[in-house]
Structure 1
């Protein structure tokens, strides 16, 4: 990716962040460049995050970007790299976050992860480059509500990605 294209992408992503844009953007840079962080507050130690530690939490609370518009921005970048005739490989994964002691947390569910746990489930659909590299680009990451299921959430996410893509989509899912 050339520097001009990267600047355009970063500007477009910045515009989609709504509130607390600067803090959120610095936090994203800190997350992408910090190798090991034991807790969220450690991202405030990054030289790319020019705020106090409490701003990490404020940035997350204040900024609710339009996930669909962000996904569309990501897909625009993909379409510049992948010829229209080639398929895009996506992986969909369901992950459970155990929260057994968070009794006031809304919409906890019973999740299966090495046994049955109480917590919240999340579904992620990510683009997987086939040629080389070990990274993935998350297109959508969403919590699974108690009124849904991992497969329904995955199907909804896959449908949205397929509707926005000019390339054929090949999806792989775990068990």
Structure 2
């Protein structure tokens, strides 16, 4: 590509040109057709309902047979593609640090009973209903780089469809660790930079994610669920008794006929430990603020 205008910015075009070359190198089998399908998918107007519609665009110069052959027999070097995406210029926050967001997006498939590995996806407000529902579909986990400001653009760096046997926390932690290592290898994070901020949605357990990501230059920030109960610090032993003894006595209790002047007060009846005692907390339920 040649730029005729002398005052035009050449760096964005150079970055896009290098990315096109690196992306084409990641297509190891049927790369020509897969590359044209990707261009048609990005340049078509509106949503794509069927892959056959992509063959009608100007970016796809091959027939239906080549398209089906590429989708059935084509191959993409996914680890290399992840490194290519990590090597691109990343959006940054206002303070210059990298911010990665992790979330799950559902692709609902209620009318596709033959689709493999469908899960019940939690949705809310579907079909005009105000209550939550569980609809069969495919959950996809995304990792995107965010930037400050009013823009809603984000840069997707990793995506994976979750299966029935996947541990969401363990799988997500492995992907985040691999992505952070790729960012370091590609020079997007260097020693001396601020730690990468990892933002998790309310569906993740932030303390566990921090434990699984130990050893990486990251900070974990997790949203708290609205029904999460956070316990207060355990009170000092005997504080309730001192507080009860500090209450002023009433006139009725001082003039009670059951007490004789000069006699020792009657002991309070001891409460049975099995009567109305507060149950002990379940082990391991203490919440942690992150």
Query: TM range, normalised to the smaller chain?
Result: 0.7 to 0.9
Count, aligned residues: 172
Larger radius of gyration: 2
Whether 2:58 is the aligned partner of 1:47: answer: yes
Within 2, Cα distance between the matches of 1:55 and 1:144?
30
Q: Corresponding residue for 1:94?
A: 104
Select which of 112, 119, 122 maps to 1:109. 119
Equivalence map 1:115-134=2 (5 Å): 115-130=133-148, 133-134=151-152
Name whichever structure is richer in helix by fraction.
1
Q: 1:93 to 1:60 in 2, by over 3 A?
A: farther
Question: RCO higher in 1 or 2 (8 Å CA, sep ≥ 6)?
Answer: 1
User: 5+ unaligned residues in a row in structure 2: which ranges?
Assistant: 1-10, 125-132, 190-194, 203-290
Cα deviations across residues 104-145 of structure 1 (Å, max 9, x unaligned)? 333222222231122221111122243675432221111101
Name whichever structure is richer in strand by fraction.
1
Equivalence map 1:1-175=2 (5 Å): 1-40=11-50, 41-53=52-64, 55-78=66-89, 86-114=96-124, 115-130=133-148, 133-166=151-184, 167=189, 168-175=195-202
RMSD: 2.6
Cα deviations across residues 57-103 of structure 1 (Å, max 9, x unaligned)? 44333333122211111111226x87xx9422222221222233433
Within 2, Cα distance between the matches of 1:70 and 1:21?
13
Q: Which region of structure 1 is more displaced relative to structure 2, 97-106 or 42-51?
A: 97-106
Contact 1:122 1:142 in 2 (8 A): yes
Q: CA deviation at 1:6?
A: 3.0
Contact 1:74 1:139 in 2 (8 A): yes
TM-score (norm 2): 0.52
Within 1, Cα distance between the matches of 2:64 and 2:154?
28
Within 2, Cα distance between the matches of 1:6 and 1:86?
23
Q: Which region of structure 1 is more displaced relative to structure 2, 32-41 or 14-23?
A: 32-41
TM-score (norm 1): 0.81
User: 5+ unaligned residues in a row in structure 1: which ranges?
Assistant: none
